[in-house]
Chains A and B, each alone.
Chain A
Amino acid sequence: IAGITQAPTSQILAAGRRMTLRCTQDMRHNAMYWYRQDLGLGLRLIHYSNTAGTTGKGEVPDGYSVSRANTDDFPLTLASAVPSQTSVYFCASSEWADSYEQYFGPGTRLTVT
């Protein structure tokens, strides 16, 4: 059982390029989340999905979009990357939106130059 997988592990991206970070979970969890983690700022919620077919905005959604076509996948897209989007991105899931434990993927380290 893999849990949550993220791809790529790391990426260097030129500013202005489009990029999709992939996240897949095999736990049949209903809720999924995208966070970014920056030194000194901690984890900040970008977007979330409480169930397949629904999405919502978190604390820092600008410049990012998500979709939730099925239970397992929750891709995060940067339409036109900017250097301030350099960060470590974590995908997470929980069985339900009100479950107390979130399970995190291994993260994607993104550098925008």
Chain B
Amino acid sequence: GQNIDQPTEMTATEGAIVQINCTYQTSGFNGLFWYQQHAGEAPTFLSYNVLDGLEEKGRFSSFLSRSKGYSYLLLKELQMKDSASYLCAVRDSDYKLSFGAGTTVTVRA
């Protein structure tokens, strides 16, 4: 099984940078994923890491260290529309996803 931890809430100012950490313990690792979920809506895919290092996609970047069981999602140049929950998920060797409880990010003007 998977044990995935991420902070419950974070608050940041518009234009700033926020880093959401995720730690995991897994019995089989086959990729780490980040999803975004706005209140009352479905999750949408943001990023995928399977090798160590940083993956950059526009204002969003995701980092993975497999040896440390650690990932972070970096949101740069925050905008009001970035206010949402961010879900860290780990995929096992059977390709099944396990999700963390999510981090609610509030962006203030």
Q: B-contacting residues of A (Cβ < 8 Å)?
A: 33, 35, 40-45, 48, 50, 58-59, 90, 97-98, 100-107
Which secondary structure dominates where chain A touches chain B?
A: loop
Smallest CB separation, A46 vs chain B (Å): 11
- Asked if residues A41 and B95 are in contact (CB atoms below 8 Å), the reply is no
A83 to B22, CA, bound (A): 31
Is B12 among interface residues, defined by CB-CB distance under 8 A?
no
Query: Across the interface, which residues of A come within 8 angstroms of B59, CB to CB?
Result: none
The total of chain B residues at the interface (CB under 8 A) is: 20
List the 7 closest pairs (A to B, CB-CB), nearest first.
A104-B42, A43-B99, A42-B101, A42-B99, A100-B48, A101-B45, A97-B95
Smallest CB separation, A73 vs chain B (Å): 18
The winner among B41, B42, B87, B102 for most chain A CB atoms within 10 A is B42
Query: Across the interface, which residues of A come within 8 angstroms of B81, CB to CB?
Result: none
